[in-house]
A = this chain, B = another copy of it.
Amino acid sequence: MTGVDQYTRQVNFEPPRSFGTILKSRIKETFFPDDPFSQLKKEPLPRRTIKTIQYFIPICEWLPKYHLGLFKYDLLAGITIASLAIPQGISYANLAQLPPIIGLYSSFVPPLVYAVFGSSKNLAVGTVAACSLLIAETIGEKVSPTENLQLYVNLVYTATLFSGLLQIVLGILRLGILVDFLSHSTITGFMGGTALIICLQQMKGMLGLKHFTHKTSVVAVIKSIFHNRREWRWECFVIGIIFLTFLQFTRYVKKKKPKLFWVSAIAPMVVVLTGCLFAYFAHAERHGIATVGDLRKGINKLSINRLNFDSEYLSAPIKAGLITALIALAEGIAIGRSFAIVKNEQTDGNKEMIAFGMMNIIGSITSCYLTTGPFSKTAINFNAGCKTPMANVVQSMCMLLVLLFLAPLFSYTPQVALSAIIISAMLGLIEYEKAYHLFKTDKFDFVICMSAFLGVSFISMDMGLMISVGLALIRAMLYIARPATCKLGNIPDSNLYRDIEQYPVATATPGMLVLQLGSPIYFANGTYVKERILRWVRDEHDVSKSSHNDIEYILLELGGVTSIDITGVESLFEVRRALEAQGIKMILVNPRLDVMEKLMVTKFVDKIGRNSIFLSIDDAISACRFTLKSSKQEVEGERLEDV
């Protein structure tokens, strides 16, 4: 491969693509990274229309192919998740300071909507703890649910509407990209912090307290627990511990024997039913064990007239709506994706957003509050063998039956049973092992995770989330502001050039300095890249001064530079000017398509000359050596004289 003819291999100096072409491909990569319509291109028009409808309303795709064989699985899965939906619905409504019936309503309408618009086959729709608490925190600041429940509930519906609207807008604008900015580390910390607070708050139910704080910081909650010491009821606590032990045991069973997942799936229902029976027969109220109370028969009422856009309160539902919308999306989409990967299916994040948005908009006018795809429910749905979104329809039908006939039964559910169910669910969300893993593997990710955890625990949920996302963004900014550069050396007996720090065996070529740049070069790092290159040259000079070996060429390996903007090109111009002043020639190696186009259009290529751009380091070095040879020989001569 080595030889003189080698550096005749041509770099592509094709004129740049038109602006339109570039813009189109950029927009496609940014907003349609999954290329959803690629399959449509080849089809004839009528078929394409059907496919497009099927794309936007997935039920049109799967329902015609549906058959009894599939329904068998979906029926079982649907009943299982419904049995979880009842206790969870009541519990989380409790957490959101809402009347328990709204929790049941929220498992009836939204699953039906999702079945129509949703694209994930495994997702089970339901309410989630973190968002429920966040709603209570944000709206509770404005209106106390104990003082004016009617207004509070209205504002929660309004917040749900805003969530839905935001989700649908994000989906239509294909801004799924926003969810990408919630990193795993942030979510781990946020979930952990939320779970901790929720667990502590459940001490109200576990200890049978009547007065309790509405604040969510750990300090306030612990203070409140001990402040109301006189209200502690040991009866409550004993029952709570029994329930909790039972629930944790079923989780343990599931962990040991994954086939017995249904044991943990129906356990909350068992707890609720046992609690109801116990409360009914033992007249629990008389012993200070509070029950849920007031669950009337009947399905969701329309709540469109309850939406409240009064400017006095509007800020609270907007804030709650926007934050919970993003968290709900992050949870729902991430979960949909993970299970899709297991089954080797695709999910379209932007389509899911539209489905979630529809779900919450319709939910907000039918007495439901925020729903998404909660992790626990989806996992159970998946394990129960669901095949299509029909499982959600089954869930919905079960809830319909409950609402029509059985709801009053559940009014006997003791609060302590709900607290035990919530604590048991939350304990699984404090992933201390994952945090330790982060600590071991990436300290900065650990800091991001802990900032979310501590922020949520000690300040507030939204502040914790924002601090963590802010830190993650700062880190991202640092990545782009300080891209790694390294000096390359030749790996002996090969034409490979690798980082000298990573491969100490690699040797530098005399008279030349080979630098590898990485990441895009643009305004945020142009100055840095420029100064870093000049510093490499200075360092090299310091070393070479002693060894009579001056740098004559600088080779910049641009293979890792994915794009460059005007400020970046100007930095390269400045580098070139500075190097020229020192009598050093600048050579570019392997610029990529986007970079090459920008260098052509800014006349940089004309300035440094086409013969200063090479396809590979090897080519460039051979060419440089060829011209170096004469001057090298002189230097060699001098050195001999010195000796």
CB of A311, distance to nearest CB on chain B (Å): 24
B residues in contact with A12, CB < 8 Å = 502-503
B residues in contact with A445, CB < 8 Å = 565-567
> Closest residue to A580 on the B side, CB-wise?
B344
In the complex, the answer to whether B535 meets A35 with C-beta atoms within 8 Å is yes
- The residues in A between 325 and 343 inclusive whose CB is less than 8 angstroms from any CB of B are 337, 341-342
In the complex, the answer to whether A180 meets B560 with C-beta atoms within 8 Å is no
Contact with B along A549-561 (1 / 0, CB 8 A): 0000000000111
Question: Is A499 close to B, CB under 8 A?
Answer: yes
Q: Determine which of B29, B344, B570 lies in contact with A582 in the assembled complex, contact meaning CB atoms within 8 Å.
A: B344
B residues in contact with A494, CB < 8 Å = 1, 6, 9, 616
Q: Which of A158-166, A423-431, A450-458, A522-530 contacts B (4 or more CB under 8 A)?
A: A522-530
Question: Is A401 close to B, CB under 8 A?
Answer: no
* Whole-angstrom CA separation of A69 from B370 in the bound complex: 78
In the complex, the answer to whether A29 meets B482 with C-beta atoms within 8 Å is yes
In the complex, the answer to whether A481 meets B177 with C-beta atoms within 8 Å is yes
Q: Determine which of B484, B525, B577, B581 lies in contact with A180 in the assembled complex, contact meaning CB atoms within 8 Å.
A: B525
In the complex, the answer to whether A344 meets B578 with C-beta atoms within 8 Å is yes
Question: Is A480 close to B, CB under 8 A?
Answer: yes
In the complex, the answer to whether B23 meets A443 with C-beta atoms within 8 Å is yes
Question: Is A531 close to B, CB under 8 A?
Answer: yes
Question: Is A486 close to B, CB under 8 A?
Answer: yes
In the complex, the answer to whether A442 meets B566 with C-beta atoms within 8 Å is yes
In the complex, the answer to whether A520 meets B479 with C-beta atoms within 8 Å is yes
Question: Is A509 close to B, CB under 8 A?
Answer: no
Q: Which of A86-94, A278-286, A374-382, A595-603 contacts B (4 or more CB under 8 A)?
A: A595-603
CB of A352, distance to nearest CB on chain B (Å): 13
In the complex, the answer to whether A484 meets B594 with C-beta atoms within 8 Å is yes
CB of A182, distance to nearest CB on chain B (Å): 8
Copies in the complex: 2
In the complex, the answer to whether B185 meets A523 with C-beta atoms within 8 Å is yes
CB of A350, distance to nearest CB on chain B (Å): 12
* Whole-angstrom CA separation of A34 from B560 in the bound complex: 23
* Whole-angstrom CA separation of A442 from B535 in the bound complex: 29
B residues in contact with A570, CB < 8 Å = 184
* Whole-angstrom CA separation of A6 from B495 in the bound complex: 11
In the complex, the answer to whether B442 meets A33 with C-beta atoms within 8 Å is no
Question: Is A138 close to B, CB under 8 A?
Answer: no
Question: Is A501 close to B, CB under 8 A?
Answer: yes
Question: Is A491 close to B, CB under 8 A?
Answer: yes
Q: Determine which of B2, B346, B527, B592 lies in contact with A337 in the assembled complex, contact meaning CB atoms within 8 Å.
A: B527
In the complex, the answer to whether B562 meets A9 with C-beta atoms within 8 Å is no
B residues in contact with A479, CB < 8 Å = 480, 520, 522, 562-563
* Whole-angstrom CA separation of A441 from B603 in the bound complex: 10
In the complex, the answer to whether A498 meets B566 with C-beta atoms within 8 Å is no
B residues in contact with A1, CB < 8 Å = 1-2, 494-495
Question: Is A593 close to B, CB under 8 A?
Answer: yes
Question: Is A476 close to B, CB under 8 A?
Answer: yes
Question: Is A574 close to B, CB under 8 A?
Answer: yes
Q: Determine which of B180, B535, B596 lies in contact with A481 in the assembled complex, contact meaning CB atoms within 8 Å.
A: B180
Question: Is A440 close to B, CB under 8 A?
Answer: yes
In the complex, the answer to whether A441 meets B602 with C-beta atoms within 8 Å is yes
> Closest residue to A518 on the B side, CB-wise?
B562
In the complex, the answer to whether B523 meets A183 with C-beta atoms within 8 Å is yes
B residues in contact with A38, CB < 8 Å = 539
CB of A551, distance to nearest CB on chain B (Å): 15
In the complex, the answer to whether A9 meets B566 with C-beta atoms within 8 Å is no
Question: Is A590 close to B, CB under 8 A?
Answer: yes
B residues in contact with A34, CB < 8 Å = 531, 535
- The residues in A between 482 and 537 inclusive whose CB is less than 8 angstroms from any CB of B are 482-484, 486, 491, 494-496, 498-499, 501-503, 516, 518-520, 522-528, 531-532, 534-535
B residues in contact with A472, CB < 8 Å = 523-524
Question: Is A405 close to B, CB under 8 A?
Answer: no
* Whole-angstrom CA separation of A592 from B498 in the bound complex: 9
Question: Is A143 close to B, CB under 8 A?
Answer: no
* Whole-angstrom CA separation of A483 from B495 in the bound complex: 28
Question: Is A438 close to B, CB under 8 A?
Answer: yes
Q: Determine which of B29, B185, B482, B520 lies in contact with A30 in the assembled complex, contact meaning CB atoms within 8 Å.
A: B482
Question: Is A478 close to B, CB under 8 A?
Answer: yes
B residues in contact with A539, CB < 8 Å = 38
Q: Can you name 21 A-B residue pairings with CB atoms under 8 Å?
A: A6-B494, A12-B503, A23-B443, A30-B478, A30-B481, A33-B531, A33-B532, A177-B482, A337-B527, A341-B578, A344-B578, A344-B581, A440-B601, A441-B566, A445-B567, A472-B523, A476-B523, A484-B594, A498-B615, A502-B592, A502-B596
**4 cross-chain pairs, A with B, having the tightest CB-CB distances, nearest first:** A560-B560, A183-B523, A518-B562, A484-B562
